[in-house]
Structure 1
Amino acid sequence: MDNSTGFGFFTGTYDVVNRWRKDFLDPAEGDDHWEEFPGLSRASAHFDGRASFDEIDFPTKGFAGLTLRLYDPAADAWSLYWANRRTGVLYPPVTGRFGPDGTGRFHGDDEYAGRKVKVRFVWSGITATSAHWEQAFSVDDGRTWITNWHMHMTRRED
């Protein structure tokens, strides 16, 4: 996958099945620690594929978010910025790139519930009609990770 157009696949309207931990830092397993809910994402590419934007609505949660992704050719890396309607705050970016297998790995620093966390996004399973995104947090400087959010995206027919 060409890193400079790495998010070129992510255009159009997607139905999203979200699954997140009820407590993003609780490592316990089992269905009672997870919640599933729908989303609808509208994504577009800009700057000849070197920028990507999507807005996602979570109708049963009563909020929406957006992601701006920008490619830096000097660093051969993407920066991904998230904001949501509840806070109106642009969160610190995660940065990274797509590997030869087409999987994108992105890392950054943030804060969750008053604690400093390392953040990891992984984009995988990318096809012409679907993709998977997951988020994980680390509170021990990246030695261990708690995956806390999955999005399974399926492109809607035009």
Structure 2
Amino acid sequence: MSRDGSKDFDWEIGTWATHVKVLRGAFTPDATWIEFDGTSVVHSFCEGASNLVELDVSGAAGRIQGVSLRLYNPEAQQWSLNFANMGDGLLTSPTYGEFTDDRGEFFGIDTLRGRTILVRFVILKLSDDTARFEQSYSADSGASWELTWVATDTRITA
């Protein structure tokens, strides 16, 4: 029997305090981590088969505002994660994948400074009130990965 993953993100619906670390200059000797704090608000739509994440974080390096639209494909039994940064209004290439227990793993293709790279996005439900999100890039067809984004979320309760 096939597994219905359309409820995989139900645990995440709500408001979260988020701490984000972003690696600027991936694959260069002068790559530097910068940090941001703010909120992530997750809204459910279509009985859980889609959701929208509103990210708003800021730090010494500025502000990141973005939205992630997540869509479940029941035929493929996979999710697509589609992110847009409000700084430039552009939608990044989607990543595709699924959850196994409390771990979601998603893969896609993007470009970085004109070079085609692989992208891996991992979502870890650490508890009902804590989650970790990791994005990594590979410039060698997945033989090695460089971590470029880490977000640690803690649920804000009323």
The normalised TM-score by structure 1 is: 0.90
Alpha-carbon RMSD across the aligned residues, in angstroms, is 1.9
Change (3 A) 1:132 1:2: farther
Question: Post-superposition shift, 1:105?
Answer: 0.3
For 1:41, the equivalent position in structure 2 comes to: 40
For 2:87, the equivalent position in structure 1 comes to: 86
Note if contact 1:27-1:146 (Cα within 8 Å) is conserved in structure 2: no
Deviations 1:51-71 (A, max 9, x none): 011111123322301100000
For 1:142, the equivalent position in structure 2 comes to: 142
Does residue 157 (structure 1) correspond to residue 157 (structure 2)? The answer is: yes
Does residue 24 (structure 1) correspond to residue 23 (structure 2)? The answer is: no
Aligned length in residues? 154
Q: Unmatched 5+ residue regions in structure 1?
A: none
Q: Which deviates more from structure 2 when the two are superposed, residues 69-78 or residues 36-45?
A: 36-45
- The one-letter code sitting in structure 1 at the alignment partner of 2:81 is L
Note if contact 1:55-1:64 (Cα within 8 Å) is conserved in structure 2: yes
The normalised TM-score by structure 2 is: 0.90
* 1:64-103 aligned within 5 A: 64-99=65-100, 101-103=101-103
Q: What is the SS of the residue equivalent to 1:3?
A: coil
Note if contact 1:40-1:58 (Cα within 8 Å) is conserved in structure 2: yes
Q: Which has the higher strand share?
A: 2
Q: Distance in 1 between matches of 2:121 and 2:4?
A: 19
- The one-letter code sitting in structure 1 at the alignment partner of 2:27 is L
- The one-letter code sitting in structure 1 at the alignment partner of 2:89 is G
Deviations 1:77-109 (A, max 9, x none): 00000001111111111000001x320000000
Question: Post-superposition shift, 1:27?
Answer: 7.6
Note if contact 1:93-1:108 (Cα within 8 Å) is conserved in structure 2: yes
Q: Unmatched 5+ residue regions in structure 2?
A: none
Q: Distance in 2 between matches of 1:82 and 1:116?
A: 18
Q: Distance in 1 between matches of 2:68 and 2:111?
A: 18
Question: Post-superposition shift, 1:148?
Answer: 1.0
Q: What is the SS of the residue equivalent to 2:27?
A: coil
Change (3 A) 1:15 1:144: same
Does residue 124 (structure 1) correspond to residue 124 (structure 2)? The answer is: yes
Question: Post-superposition shift, 1:33?
Answer: 3.4
Question: Post-superposition shift, 1:24?
Answer: 2.5
Q: What is the SS of the residue equivalent to 2:22?
A: strand
Q: What is the SS of the residue equivalent to 1:25?
A: coil
